[in-house]
Amino acid sequence: MTELRSQDCLSRVPAALRLDTHCIGGRWQPSADAARFAVTDPATGATIADVADGSALEATQAADAASTALPGWRATPARERARLLRRWHAAIVEHTEALAALISAEQGKPLAEAAGEVAYGASYVAWFAEEALRIQGDILAAAGTGQRMWVQKHPVGVVAAITPWNFPLAMIARKIAPALAAGCTVVAKPAEDTPLTALALAELAAQAGLPPGVLNIVAASRERAPAVVDAWLADGRVRKLTFTGSTAVGKHLARASADTLKKVSLELGGNAPFIVFEDADLEAAVAGLMAAKFRNGGQTCVCPNRVYVHDSVHDAFVERLREAVTGLTVGPAWEPDVRIGPMINARAVEKIGQHLADAVAQGARLITGGMRVREADGPHYVAPAVLTGATPAMRLACEETFGPVVPVFRFHDEAEVIRAANDTPYGLAAYFYSRDARRIARVAPQLDTGMVGINEGAIASEVAPFGGVKESGYGREGSRYGLDDYLQTQYLCEGQLG
């Protein structure tokens, strides 16, 4: 039944956007060895498409195309680059319904949320179309007589972008848009679970008039992804790597980038704390937690992973939270009112089960959810769970659960909870709720994370720098800071002038 409906969902996508080959140098091509891999419906595991499986050969062809296109693209006036980005933005927005259907079909998030992702991803394209016009240098006060000194910004060169599956459109758009705005050309490899949306985006970019070779996409299975990416890492023409994914893979890519000393941006795992102080507005805190935690079924790197609630409001907060969580509807992406779709695959469901079992074995109390549901529709639906009595020794306190699980920790004082919040190698996002202005001013700078939500659960935006510290990586996406990652600074000194 679900399989049929999944195909229905895909059938909403015009044939021109249902692509299953690589986009290299403006042409759509299969792999030279004709290899293909299956893209599956996350709910059922049924195959929904067979996509060309890239190798080092296609990776090199893509790097060739990007290198060939680079001089022309970097010399294209910023105004013209901006115009093409605006056209790409318009094409994405115009095809919202088709792109949302692709996202839901391959990734599983509810259709309305998928349409929200299209708008969110498109917002980066619009933003960087505007920022392209504001790449500026500096004229310096010269150090010596008869000298002129100034600073210019140049595109860093060919960029390799590697993206994860949880936001099939937004993750790749927010890397490609600033790269193109800066005058870089791109080779990209989308996640093996979700290549279809990325391929459709490349087609829309071509329809918008982006010159051939400026944006190249090579799809690959999990098995062949390393060969594709390694070819780019070893290639001295690729000057920058931008990666979003797990910390383990990010570290490996950073090491491998060292041989050619690429500029590297890494947006890696998180383990976000969410703190509810005794002076918080509990209703707002529950609403903020629901928004932050259950976006994409808990499969985002900024999802709160550890919820710390002050002893004096713990029971009241947990009761409100339980009510809100039991009200969430789990099911296939295309059913109305569904808030939580399937998890991405069997591995994800297994990890959630292991985290819950480990927590319960160590004394946590499961107060709602945690079991598989909608099994007739597929094995990957999990009822959102709340646990109390969580402790730092539990796996869900140390690792990203990446699912709809809320572990609640009880705390007694501010210094203790700040220590606990920072007691992790990760440092992506943190959230806290308080109505005390002095506490807000005191606590925020002590949180060791790249982003802090204060009385706010939805923090991601194209106007703001998204990124982490510690083992959550380095580099920023979005905002004017996000453009710097794709630019290099050239200082010029002219003498003999006086």
Positions that interact with ligand ADP (CB under 6 A): 162-164, 189, 191-192, 225-226, 229, 245-246, 249, 252
Tell me whether residue 175 or residue 189 sits nearer to ligand ADP (CB atom).
189
Q: Which residue in the list 131, 301, 303, 477 is annotated as catalytic?
A: 301
Minimum distance, C-beta of residue 226 to ligand ADP, in the bound complex (Å): 4
Rounded-to-integer distance, Cα 218 and Cα 240, Å: 17
- The minimum distance between CB 246 and ligand ADP, in angstroms, equals 3
Question: Considering 131, 267, 278, 477, which one is annotated as catalytic?
Answer: 267
C-beta closer to ligand ADP: residue 76 or 299: 299
Smallest gap from Cβ 220 to ligand ADP, in A, equals: 7
Whether 323 sits among the annotated catalytic residues: the reply is no
Q: At a CB cut-off of 8 Å and minimum separation 6, what does 165 contact?
A: 107, 191, 192, 193, 194, 344
Residue 276 burial by CB count (10 A; 0-12/13-18/19+): exposed, middle or buried? buried
- In one letter, which amino acid is 27? R
Nearer to ligand ADP, 267 or 484 (CB): 267
CA–CA dist 128, 181 (Å, integer): 6
When the beta carbons of 249 and 318 are compared against ligand ADP, the nearer one is 249
Greatest CA span in the chain, whole angstroms? 83
Shortest separation between residue 252's beta carbon and ligand ADP, angstroms? 6
| Cα–Cα distances in angstroms (integers) from residue 431 to residues 310, 384, 415, 476, 479, in the given order | 14, 20, 16, 19, 20
Position of minimal CB gap to ligand ADP:
245
CB of 75 to ligand ADP, least distance (A): 31
Tokens of 242: 């931008």
* Nearer Cβ to ligand ADP (225/387): 225
Q: Is 278 a catalytic residue?
A: no
**How are beta strands 405-411 and 27-29 bridged, if at all?**
unpaired
Any residues with CB less than 8 A from the CB of 256 and at least 6 apart, and which? 230, 233, 234
* Residue number, 36 or 252, with CB nearest to ligand ADP: 252
489's tokens: 């600074």
At closest approach, how far in Å is the CB of 170 from ligand ADP? 14
Phi, psi (rounded to 5 degrees) for 36: -140, 160
What is the C-alpha separation between 409 and 393, in angstroms, rounded?
Answer: 12
* Catalytic positions, written as ranges: 267, 301
